[in-house]
Structure 1
């Protein structure tokens, strides 16, 4: 019997960061895999920490297509918002290419909108708002393209559990085991509703005890510090510029212009894709 083939694409969220098992990460996608079918499931995780939409399109997608998957998850975009090169039109075009190629091969595509990193990190308003605006733009694109390609889309950005500190790991950006299980459970429920998941749903309760405070602090002081340093080298100078612009507009009472500018950029990005509308079977 041919196993159902499930492939995960994306960044550290799908790689499983925050849900350690032994010396490796497990994560929501691995938890979901066991409940997709009554029979065997072949799960391949191609997600890589730090990946952006370009990485998924150029590196992960070809490897995924070669595996001829039945189900593919594509959760990516947060790292794009953390870069000085952020361009919503480029993000939209890349996601359109990824979703279209997978849907064109007959795969069920799983997508999700995600919370903004500034809010998760508890950044001050002037620093958090520009990141929130970028993440909303990415989520709007993901919503629209998920509809276009009939993806199974999970609305997570504003769900109540997102605000529960117990769901998150020490770095406040990645779910802990409990949070990864929530993602897996919610995807399983959506898939089961459509008759696309026939196995047993993953358990909601963690299998392992939560890391101690000292273990969490050690992680932050070692791996977590390195993670932040790599991103700050690229993001911090521009984030400060964005914060100054944000503050200037607030003082002048013209903050609405920033929202309008972002909305216009998202509309233009989606309009550009609609001009050369892809057929679902285009690769």
Structure 2
């Protein structure tokens, strides 16, 4: 991949790619895809970037709604990250979900794009009450790695690094990343794509924090259950999604400046 000319980057996915947890709806969300676009621009390339991700989308919806528009943009670089919303739902079908991921890998790489994806961290270390879902997550990661290998897709294997489960990288809902978490993911992707100037510093550990006592840990879990897991379950029972009525935040290719201070990349 050359960095001395024009470069088109398109991001496909759900809330993680949209940038939830890094900013808010009043000021706008940023996220790792916006930050990766800045990394690309810092190489000296003239980068145009579109983000088609919408929160709450399942892998099937990402494929149905975002793949065709992405292909029309003829991206040089594309990121695809979906499936987490599927994994945490009842009725999860691993073959179907990863099948949608692989179909996107196949079509984007066939178009000439350099495609990258991520693995999802050990959620049991981030939110202990989700431990029953861990086998699904581990299996999902293995399937994604295999599908990526079949199509020459770059994998930023975030799950293989201890830093990925540091609570300081995770927002209060424990499903989305903080700005620091999004920054680390962008660094992981920049490194996996072997961008000039990228290195493995994204995986460096943070300073140790005092260990929480048992009572505090239990209290935190109870608060999380009431503030986040409960409302999520209620939305599912009502057949609603956090992405209902939403559209992509950056549906067209727009120029990117190589500076971190930009709020929208």
TM-score (norm 1): 0.67
Name the counterpart of 1:115: 121
Name the counterpart of 1:49: 55
Matches within 5 A, 1:1-80: 3-20=6-23, 23-36=27-40, 37-80=43-86
Name the counterpart of 1:175: 177
CA distance in 2, matches of 1:115, 1:232: 25
Q: Which of 1 and 2 has higher RCO (CA within 8 Å, sep 6+)?
A: 2
- Please list every run of at least 4 consecutive aligned residues from structure 1 whose deviation after the TM superposition is greater than 3 angstroms: 116-119, 198-201, 224-228, 230-235
Instruction: Return 5+ residue gaps in structure 1 as ranges.
Output: 205-220, 236-283
How far 1:157 moved relative to its partner?
1.5
Name the counterpart of 1:99: 105
Please report the RMSD computed on the Cα atoms of aligned residues, expressed in angstroms. Answer: 2.7
Matches within 5 A, 1:233-248: 233-234=235-236
Q: Which structure's CA Rg is the greater one?
A: 1
Secondary structure class of the residue paired with 2:39? coil
How far 1:167 moved relative to its partner?
1.5
TM-score (norm 2): 0.71
Question: When the two structures are aligned, how many residues end up with a matched partner?
Answer: 209
CA distance in 1, matches of 2:96, 2:137: 14
Tell whether the 8 Å contact from 1:9 to 1:73 is kept in structure 2 after alignment.
yes
Determine if the alignment matches structure 1 residue 163 to structure 2 residue 165: yes
CA distance in 2, matches of 1:43, 1:231: 34
CA distance in 1, matches of 2:28, 2:81: 20
CA distance in 2, matches of 1:13, 1:228: 20
Which structure is higher in helix share? Answer: 1
Q: Deviations over 1:25-56 (max 9, x none)?
A: 10011111112131221111111111111011
